[in-house]
Each structure stands twice: as C-alpha cells, then as structure tokens.
Amino acid sequence: MCDRDLVGGSRWVCPCRCLPTRFLLRTATQVMWAGRGVAVIFRKSLACTRRPTGKIQFSECMFWKLGNRGSTGFLLVYRPPRCTKDSLSELLQVVADFLLETPSLVVLGDFNIHANTTLQGAVRDFVESMASMGLSLNKFGPTHSHGHSLDLVFTSSDVGDLTLSKSETKEVPWSDHFLVQLDFSATLPLCREVGPIRMVRPRHLMDPNGFQRVVGDALSHVDGLSADSLVARWNAELTRAINCLAPKRPLRLHGARTAPWFSSELRAMKQSLRRLERWWQKTHSESDRTQVRAQRRAYQVAIATANKTFFTASIASAENSSRRLFQVVHNLTEPPLPPGPCKDPKISCNDFAKFFADKITHIRKELDTTVGAGLGWESARALSGQAAWNQFQSVTPEDVDRLLGRVKPTTCLLDPCPSWLIKARREGLGDGLCGVVNASLCEGTFPDPLKEAVVKPLLKKPSLDPASMANYRPVSNLPFLGKVIERVVAEQLQARLEDADHLDPFQSGFRPHHGTETALVVLVDDLRRARDKGKSCFLVLLDLSAAFDTIDHNILLDRLEGLGAGGTVIQWFRSFLLGRVQKVVVGDECSDPWALTCGVPQGSVLSPMLFNIYMKPLGEIIRGFGLGVHQYADDTQLYLSFKSEPVKAVKVLCECLEAVGGWMAANGLKLNPDKTKVLFLGDRGRARVEDSLVLNRVTVPLKDQVRSLGVILDSQLSMEAQVNSVSRAAAYQLHLGRRLRPYLPADCLARVVHALVISRLDYCNALYAGLPLKVTRKLQLIQNAAARLVTGGGRRDHITPVLKDLHWLPVRFRAQFKVLVLTFKALNGLGPVYLKERLHPHRSARTLRSSAEGLLAVPSLREAKLQGTRQRAFSVGAPALWNALPSDVKAINNYLTFRRHLKAALFREVFNM
C-alpha cells in the first residue's frame, strides 16, 4: 500500500485492527510526512524478509525479499511532490544499490510523477535511467481520480522466480488513488519452508505417579499365563497408560531453532533494542543513541549471564556420566548438524536392509566354499564334561528392583512407553515385571514380541561419503523389557562362568576387572621382556569382518552344552537365538523386516558374553603353536618371539595363522587379511626377515607402527608415536575448553578439563611409566596448559604451585600411580589373573623384619638386563615401585582407601611435603 490516506484527508488510521487473521502489517513512516508513507501487508506463511534501506532524505522506501531463496526483491517507494530533481537522483542511487544485491527487482509505489503526459526534465532522465538499468515501466492507465498516473511499477526483464502475468487498476472508496493489482505467477513455492509433522508425547505430562495410577494392578496377576501372553499384556497396558497420560500430539519440525538459553525475557530485550535502534535511525538524536547503547550493553550482559547459567546447569547434569559430559561439551562447542537423518536421500531403508543382509549372506557363502564345519564342531565338543545346568533360578521383586536400579533407561521404538517411567515406578511395576521374567525362565522361551530389533544406520565417520552404504554401521536397538530379562540371565551365566573358570584366561573383553589397559600392559610387558633377552618379535593384529553377525547358532549352542547347559537353560538360549527379525528405521521411514539366520543381536546384554564363549577355542589353538595371545572381544593379538632361526619362526607363524583362518572359517567367522596388521620388533636385516608375510594367500606387509586397542605401538616400543597422537588430540580438546571458559564457573571448567583433556592423558598411561622425560615432556606441557586454563594463570607463571593447588600429580607420577593401582588390584583379587601371575612375593633365605611388609620380588639383573626394561616393563617396574611405598600404604586392603593414601604419598614425594 502507498500513500496511506484511508479517510481522504491528511489524517490516516492504522489498519492493524482491521487486518484479517494470518496476515501481518509492516510500516515505515517518516515523521516529517504525517499521514503518508509506505507499508506492506502479507500473509504470515509467505517467506518475506525485510532488508535495511539506509538513510534516505527525500523519499521513503521499504525493501523486501520474497521467497525462500530471496531471489526477487520488492522496493516500495513514496516520494512527496517536491524537490523533484534531488529526490529522483537520490532514488536512482537507491535503486542502483539494490540492483547490485538483487538483480531481479520490482520497484513500485507513489512517485508523484505524471507518467501519462510527455516526460520532460528530471522525470524523463529518471525513467530513461531506470530503463538503462533494465527496469521497464509498466503502463496501465490512470491511477488517480483526476486522471493522472502517479503510481508506477518498474520491473526487471528477469523477475527471478516470479512472472508478471496480469496488471489492472480499480477504484476504491477510501482513497483518491486507485488500487493497482499485479498478478505474479511463481515457479517455486513462496511459503516458508517448514519441517515435517511428527507425533510426539509431551514430556511435561509424563508424571510417574500418574502413570502408576493409570496402570493400577492390571499387571500383578500372572497365574496361568505364558510368557508371550504376559509380554503382550505388558505392552498393551503400558500403551494404554501412556496414551491416557500423555497422548501424542503433532509437532512441526522447523529447520531453524532458537538457542536453548534464549528465554522470553531475552526476546523482549532484543525487541526493545530493535525498536530503539529504528527510532534512533529516524531521529538521529544523541539522547536516543545513548539509550540504544545502554540497552545494547544490558542485552549483551543478559546474554552472557544466560549462557553461563545454561552451560553450568548442562555440565552439572552430566556430572556422574562421562559419556553425557562429552555429549554436552560437543553440543556447546560444535555447530549443530542439520536436522533429519544422516543419510543420502537417494538411499531408502529397504536399500540399507538389503545391503546389511547381503553382506552377511556373502560372507557365509564365501566360508561355505572354503571349508566345511568339521573343525568347528570338533572344537566345540571338546569342551564337554561340565556339571549340569538345567534350570535358571527364579527372581524376586527385590531382585528385579535391584536390576532396574542399575540398568540404563534406554528406549527403543518398539517400547510401549519411555523406559525411564518404568525405572521411576519400579516399585509399583515390579510384580508384573517379575512375573514376565520368571515365566520366560521357567518355560525356557524368550518371548517372541521381544525378538524384533530396530536397526539405525550410523555413519562411521563424519568425513566419509554418505552416499556409500559401506560407510554405515548398523546399530541395533532392542526392547527394554527384553534387556531386563537378558540381564537376569547374564548374572546367572556370569556366575556359572566364574565357578567353572570356563573363559580363556587371556580374554579381556566384557569381563569384570578386565579392560583394554590390562590387556595392553601384559602385551607390552611380554614384548619388552622378550626384547631384553635379545629376541625379535612378530606382533599380529587380526581383524574380523562382522564378527558378531556371523556366529553360527548351532556351534554356539554346542559350546553352551559344553558349559553344562541343558534342560530349560539350553532351551531358553535356543529360543533367544532363533526366530529373530530386524528392520531398518531412518526418521519416519521403515524397511521390511528380514529374518536373522546367524549371529547374536548387537546391543543386547548377553551378546558379548556369548561371543566370549564362542571364541574360547581360538586361544587354545594359538597357544598350541607356541605363540602368545591376548584377546579383547573380537580384537585378537598374537605374538611370536624368537632369537635365532627366523625362517623357522616365520614358518611357525604362517602355520598358526593358517590354522586360525581355518578355525574361523569352520566357525562362520571371516578373517580379513586386508585389515590384518603385522609389526616386527627387532632388526630386520640382522634377523633376515622379509618385508611381508603371506596370510590366506594374501601378502601382508610389515608395519613400522600399529594401533592396538587405541594405543599406537612402534617397532622400538618407544611410545613416541602414541604420545604425539595423544598430545594432538588433547591440545584440540584444550582449545574447546578455552572456548567455554568465559561461560563456565571454575568448578564446571575443571570438570570439563578433566573429562576432555586429563582423561586422554590418563588412558593406558601405565605404558608411560619409565619413559624418558624427552618423550613425556609433550604430555606434561599439555597438563600444564590445562592447569593454567583451570586456574586462569599466565603462560609464564611457575607451574609447580599451580599443580600443587589443584592437587594434580605430574604426568610421570600419574603413570606410577596407575601402575601401583593395577598392582593393588592384582594382589587383592580385583584384577585379571594374568597380571597377578607376574607379581611374586619376596622370599628371603632367612627371616627378616621386612618379611612382614608385603614386599614383591624384583627380577634380578640376570633376568632383566636393560635399564629401559627395568623401568618400563610391568613385571619389573611394578614390584620396584610397590616396594618403595610406605608400609602403612601397602597394608591397606580397601581399594578406595588405598587410592586416597597412595595419591597422598606420591603428592608428598613430588612437592616435598
């Protein structure tokens, strides 16, 4: 609208109250021209964006971009009937500026130019200049009641996504100007882009007490019902309760979301600031400018305060969860990813499902053509002879309550309600849940409704191509109720494995008191001791393809029978493995379900334990060739030491690898030679070792360094490559911590630095014990920078008082602390057996006062000659460090008390206290 004389006089009435719904009014009125100016009314759904026009002296303009791409601009003009020459030249400059920004332009408004007469002077120059810029004048007759053409429309030859299809004028009773109507046809949608509508349940309506009241005692009666019936009733009742308590509501997912800390108060302050800015741009008053500055400062202070409060609350909520803290810090420091599934839009869920299924089928076919199943069955039968285990123990509601208190409330799409509701009301739902678990254990069946899994493709790395399905990892989500049943079985299976001492002693994956650090400490200790004796070593890291997904069900059941399982126990495991289906889900798209004929479900509680049982014969086969072996789940590390006859050693290694490949093929597992890595420790020329080995007719080159369980091992075991890698990663995390420093209080900043930086320095830092200072110096510099970041100290401040105030041990002593903690665990039954076997009590020929101090035997110089070995090998350095501890610290039996006193003792040693 132009020239807002709504009544016909000099006064005008704001039409805000007359606006129809779903329309917006935007105005820009100059104070010097009361009752005149420009305004625009548009639908709320249209993608209209207003752009600033700057200071204009003789006219009033508004510039808008239309469409999601903003390819077409509309310049609305009101020019008063005076100062024609100056105002038109000024208007030409404004149009030229906007043409540079938006070549597709429409200029319209009340120019107060008599375009229906012969153009002369400045008016003619103005029209010709507009034409030279590609803006042609559209003529459609008089636009004023006196027969004049005062309202003009100039359009570009290319109006972007719009095409002018019709123009006409109409008389209106409330103005002496006619209504100029322009009809444009759009090639692209002009409405604002909105996301899809998704049905969600409001979280604030999910009251645990109300949920329990709705459920009532409908789940307490379990007599005479099968496990499948109980699960069906469980799902139906919980679905009914959650639908009654928090029914699903439509939610439109918008692409742009406001920051979570941006509150309504901040929005009001921002709106007030924008109003003051617009008023100051009109008046150019110094007092108005002062108000704008004061409001801007207050707004910036309010934003900083809101940021700090939100960050502090977010980090405090993740205090007891390192994983959650990493996620919070990542969300605070990294830009958010665009909404929607992380996959190529051309790939459908059925494509993913076919790819994942065909991959397993292809592996199985390859294995069937290479070797029969005889070796796998023979290895499984050899494990028989255990005591019978024919039935599970029933559980009580107290047992279920204890399990629910420890389980993570993960929710699957197949769950009837959020799992945290069940965990919050476990007292009221315990009887019904206990009935489902006991029915499943007594019948020896795993309920069919719980055998379905939802698979979500996850891109392995952000840098990988999302158009290739090979770059995705299938992540399975299982129903929460099924995980509770699995956890009950897992506790009884774990007790059975410990009583029978069934698992391989050098398997460290998914076992209590075992971990990657204990496996690496023993591996490196063996390699260092072998090198100390002048031996050369081969270290082979085996890689398996889709190990969990290709397990043969019959062989696994046979191994469980070798453990003594029978009766309803083996029947339950057979029901757990067979009849499973899964489907791929991405966003609202779902694939057709497909049956699983092999493998154990990833993401389940029992799968890691079953995999360890399945892999037990592998260690026996490798040790039968005289090689050492350490396993962590499907990561197998075997090594061979030799002092002479390298040809014979290579032959033995190749024979062992051939036997390993044959056993894996017979057991449905595929060894991947392309990703198998070999590291040689020693002098290749002196040992006359070739540059490669042949594994399954594939040449595997020898590497100078390999990554094992997240730690880089080099051929000299210097750990320099590992230290460099850790330093780079920790420095980047330190940079993220600096970005958060202005928004966090000191305690939250210290927690973030511990999680991001110090945790990386401490991972497997027992391997850093005894390293020369030139190697660990990089790690110490990172720790010093982290300490200065937490305390706010300067770069030139002495670091010793800073570390003392923070009660942080230097890197070298942190490594000693870790070695002594592992030693304490091994001596007190809290660590792996393979660690305890390397520690022997000191025995003297005669009775001494030191006999009661709990000393450990330190290998003699004849057993460990090199100084590096005596300082860095665990079996040599750990006893020496243990013996140097005060007697009162060595006498402590409680783990937490020992850690506290050990740190105090090292702290006194470091800072001379």
Dump pLDDT digits (tens) for 435-473: 999 999 999 999 999 999 999 888 888 778 888 888 888
pLDDT of residue 724: 93
pLDDT of residue 673: 78
Task: Please compute the mean of the pLDDT values over residues 880-899 and round it to a whole number.
Answer: 92
pLDDT of residue 194: 60
Closest CA to 539 of 619, 639, 628, 623: 639
Element (H, E) at 702: strand 698-703
Which of 80-94, 133-147, 250-264, 332-346 has the least mean pLDDT?
332-346
pLDDT of residue 913: 62
Dump pLDDT digits (tens) for 195-238: 667 788 888 888 888 888 888 877 877 777 888 999 999 999 99
What does residue 55 show for φ and ψ, rounded to 5 degrees? -85, 120
pLDDT of residue 212: 87
CB atoms within 10 A of CB 267: 11
Q: At what angle do helices 746-753 and 773-791 cross, to 10 degrees?
A: 160
Which of 642-646, 762-766, 811-815 has the least mean pLDDT?
642-646
Residue 121, amino acid: G
In this structure, are residues 38 and 2 in contact, taking their beta carbons and an 8 Å threshold? yes
pLDDT of residue 834: 92
pLDDT of residue 850: 57
Label residue 10 by pLDDT band (50, 70, 90): very low
Average pLDDT over all residues of the chain: 83
Domain 23-186 matching CATH 3.40.50.300: the answer reads no
Domain 355-392+444-714 matching CATH 3.40.190.180: the answer reads no
Dump pLDDT digits (tens) for 336-377: 554 444 455 678 888 888 888 888 888 888 876 554 444 444
pLDDT of residue 823: 94
Q: How far is the C-alpha of 91 from the C-alpha of 463, rounded, in Å?
A: 50
What DSSP state is assigned to residue 33?
S
pLDDT of residue 462: 75
Residue 664, amino acid: M
Strand 698-703 with 692-695, pairing: antiparallel
Q: How far is the C-alpha of 570 from the C-alpha of 610, rounded, in Å?
A: 13
What DSSP state is assigned to residue 17?
G
Could you tell me where in the chain the CATH 3.60.10.10 domains are found? Answer: 23-186
The yes-or-no verdict on residue 122 having pLDDT over 60 is: yes
Distances (CA, A) of 838 to 727, 835, 858: 31, 6, 10
Which of 298-312, 344-358, 617-631, 807-821 has the least mean pLDDT?
344-358
Find all residues with CB under 8 Å of 813, minimum gap 6, and list them.
906, 909, 910
In this structure, are residues 170 and 206 in contact, taking their beta carbons and an 8 Å threshold? no
In this structure, are residues 586 and 341 in contact, taking their beta carbons and an 8 Å threshold? yes
More confident position, 620 or 322: 620
Label residue 601 by pLDDT band (50, 70, 90): confident
pLDDT of residue 68: 64
Structure tokens at 566: 């029978």
pLDDT of residue 645: 80
Work out the percent of the chain whose per-residue pLDDT is above 70: 87
Label residue 8 by pLDDT band (50, 70, 90): very low
Q: How far is the C-alpha of 365 from the C-alpha of 668, rounded, in Å?
A: 10
The yes-or-no verdict on residue 619 having pLDDT over 50 is: yes
Distances (CA, A) of 170 to 143, 181, 380, 699: 8, 8, 93, 86
Q: How far is the C-alpha of 806 from the C-alpha of 784, rounded, in Å?
A: 11
More confident position, 617 or 846: 617
In this structure, are residues 434 and 397 in contact, taking their beta carbons and an 8 Å threshold? yes
Task: Please compute the mean of the pLDDT values over residues 575-603 and round it to a whole number.
Answer: 88
Dump pLDDT digits (tens) for 142-183: 888 888 888 888 888 766 666 777 778 888 887 888 888 888
The yes-or-no verdict on residue 1 having pLDDT over 50 is: no
Strand 151-156 with 104-110, pairing: antiparallel
* Ranges 180-194, 590-604, 689-703, most confident: 590-604
In this structure, are residues 37 and 4 in contact, taking their beta carbons and an 8 Å threshold? yes
In this structure, are residues 614 and 551 in contact, taking their beta carbons and an 8 Å threshold? yes
Could you tell me where in the chain the CATH 3.30.70.270 domains are found? Answer: 355-392+444-714
What does residue 73 show for φ and ψ, rounded to 5 degrees? -115, 145
The yes-or-no verdict on residue 626 having pLDDT over 70 is: yes
Label residue 7 by pLDDT band (50, 70, 90): very low
Structure tokens at 159: 């109006």
Query: Exposure string (b/e) for 107-127, b if CB count within 10 Å is 16 or more?
Result: bbbbbbbebeeebeeebeebb
Dump pLDDT digits (tens) for 508-545: 988 888 999 999 999 999 999 999 888 889 899 998 88
Instruction: Supply the Cα-derived Rg of the chain in whole angstroms.
Output: 38
Q: DSSP states of 362-385 as a string?
A: HHHHHHHHH--SHHHHHHHHTT--
pLDDT of residue 189: 67
Distances (CA, A) of 22 to 84, 253, 267, 818: 39, 20, 22, 66
Q: How far is the C-alpha of 349 from the C-alpha of 281, rounded, in Å?
A: 55
Dump pLDDT digits (tens) for 18-69: 677 778 888 775 544 455 678 888 887 788 888 888 778 888 888 888 876 6
Strand 135-137 with 151-156, pairing: antiparallel
pLDDT of residue 372: 45
pLDDT of residue 380: 41
Dump pLDDT digits (tens) for 637-679: 999 998 888 788 888 888 898 888 889 888 988 888 778 898 9
pLDDT of residue 379: 42
Residue 681, amino acid: L
What is the separation, in whole angstroms, between the first and last Cα of the chain? 83
